[in-house]
Amino acid sequence: MSTVARPRPVRLRRDRELEPESRTNIGAADFHRPSVRVTMAALRVVVLVLLVVTGLGPLVWLALAAVSPTQDLIQGPFSFFASGQVQWQNLAIAWERGRIGHYLLNTAALAAGSMVSTLFVSTTAAFVITVLKPRWGGLLSGAILATLFIPGIVSLVPLYLTVRDLPIVGISLVNTFWAVWLPAAATAFNVLIIARFLESIPAELYEAARIDGAGPLRILWSIVLPLARPILGVVGLLTIVASWKDYLWPLLVLPNPDNQPVSVALPRLADQTELSVQMAALFLALLVPVVLFLVFQRQFLRGASMSGSVKG
């Protein structure tokens, strides 16, 4: 009777030794040489240091500039505290005189309203296309997809005219937060992301709910929303980031300074205060997005991977 020989452990060890060759252009024998190992480790350290300096360098510079005197920033932008002074009062002046706290509240209100409107419209639209599947669902899906090929600058003027004189109702939304919330809701990209996620939910769940007598609203509330929490969180975070850094549209529809977000208020603040206070205002405005990213970094990375897969 013929028997099959078992592979020896040395074969597994050789496979592990050949693993670096499959991932790099360095041979297995050269990879175990001390000089090659030291060179590869040094290259990793250099690349890591470059990434840290490139990513954290501007943030650290802004933090130091926020508490530096204006004269030091003008004479030597990279020679911090040359005069030996640390002006912590720059942060208080930027908060009070520059009204950074007020503008941050406006920005938070605009971002929260944009997130709610986006989630409501995107979720219901994706639910209709993916779960309900009406006869005209293909036409609606094609129309939503077609809007992705329209540059945003092309629809800027028609959208502004619509907001200034709302059809049928005949009212103007200018200088109101609704002028930012409503246009943010109609985002085809978010509809496609949520629709792709809903397609991965087994159709048997919907069929079982219909057999039990559940209607569309019951299916949406009891099945779709609980299962779609991960993608809804990703879309919500992406919407908040997009609303937080938006500049052009709030500048057009919110001419009243009391209603403007921090992205619109900061350039105007640059003409009214000294340089050190401007840096302090920029630092305070930057803290919220940075903290938001540190807390929800997994969701941000997941959203970036999902957006890349959809665009690809």
**Taking the chain (312 residues) in consecutive chunks of 10 residues, what is each chunk's mean pLDDT?**
49 44 55 75 88 83 85 77 78 87 92 94 91 85 85 87 88 92 88 89 87 88 89 87 90 92 88 84 84 74 54 45
Residues 104/289, Cβ–Cβ less than 8 Å: no
Residues 260/106, Cβ–Cβ less than 8 Å: yes
Q: Which residues, at least 6 apart from 199, have a Cβ–Cβ distance to it below 8 Å?
A: 130
pLDDT recorded at residue 1: 45
pLDDT recorded at residue 161: 92
pLDDT recorded at residue 277: 87
pLDDT recorded at residue 312: 45
pLDDT recorded at residue 304: 54
Reference 173, options 154, 160, 185; nearest CA is 160
Domain positions in the chain are 9-93, 99-272
Rg (CA), the chain: 27
Provide the residue type at 164 as one letter.
R
Range 99-272 has CATH code 1.10.3720.10: yes
Residues 219/133, Cβ–Cβ less than 8 Å: no
**Cα first-last separation, the chain:** 55
